[in-house]
Amino acid sequence: MLPKYPKIIACDFDGTLFMDNYPNVGEPIFYTIELLKGEQVNGAKAILWTNRSGKELEDAVKACNDEGLFFDTINDNLPAIIEAFGCNTRKIFANEYWDDRMIHLPHLKHPDK
């Protein structure tokens, strides 16, 4: 069992933080940006979790930074999680996954809830 960590949020970019306009950067979705920044103020760690790479990823990170949103890591696990698992797992470990393409499965209950 993993030690207790702060909340970790893995957040998608296109359609979640910014309107979907891939490969360009769409307009900011201020509600989600402010919600994530508020979670960070309350101690959450944020991971930018996106399929973007190369210049498209650089553009996404810059757009987030321009809105005052900064990430603890990008498309990677937090160092403490890598240490806890003894490797860098392919799946990003998080307590919450924010994505415009998600499906909520209310019948699945996490033991901590």
pLDDT of residue 15: 96
- Cα–Cα nearest to 10, from 43, 50, 37: 50
Domain annotation covers residue 23: yes
pLDDT of residue 23: 96
**Cβ atoms < 10 Å from Cβ of 96:** 11
Domain annotation covers residue 54: yes
pLDDT of residue 105: 77
**pTM of the predicted protein model:** 0.89
Query: What is the Cα–Cα distance from 12 to 27, expressed in whole angstroms?
Result: 15
Structural domain range at position 33: 1-67
Domain annotation covers residue 24: yes
Domain annotation covers residue 63: yes
CATH number at residue 14: 3.40.50.1000
Q: How many domains does the chain have?
A: 1
> Which residue numbers in the chain have pLDDT < 70?
1-3, 109-113
Exposed e or buried b for every residue in 18-43, given b needs 16+ CB within 10 A? beeeeeebeebbeebbeebbebbeee
pLDDT of residue 111: 57
Domain annotation covers residue 100: no
pLDDT of residue 40: 98
pLDDT of residue 20: 96
